[in-house]
Amino acid sequence: MKDYKYLSFVEVASKTKTKVFGVRSKVPCPPLGLVKWYAPWRRYCLFIDRPNIVFDAGCLADIQDFINTLMEERREGK
């Protein structure tokens, strides 16, 4: 996987067809959320279960690029 400027993505689970990734800041702090498959939308999405999480444009760009990469890998794998 690509190295991102602000965030790191670590695989925490693997299901039959999809994977689950933990989202962490490059600076020490609790996990920010999970990127996992959301079946109703048929896409990988970011799930956040804590209040007061703030992302700036750079963090959101990292998340968007990561999710787009996962979607491309999924399409190529079929």
- The mean pLDDT of 5-23, rounded to a whole number, is 92
Q: Determine, yes or no, domain membership for 54.
A: yes
Note whether residue 31 is domain-resident: yes
State the pairing for strand pair 7-14/33-38.
unpaired
In a domain, 1, yes or no: no
Of residues 27 and 57, which shows the higher confidence score?
57
Instruction: Give pLDDT, residue 15.
Output: 83
| pLDDT score recorded for residue 78 | 56
- CA 78 to CA 13: how far, in whole Å? 20
- Three-state DSSP state, 77: helix
Residue 1, pLDDT above cutoff 80: no
Residue 39's domain comprises 7-77
Residue 15 included in any domain: yes
Residue 63 domain flag: yes
Of 39, 46, 50, 49, which Cα lies nearest the Cα of 74? 39
Residue 64 within any structural domain of the chain: yes
Confirm whether 30 is domain-assigned. Answer: yes
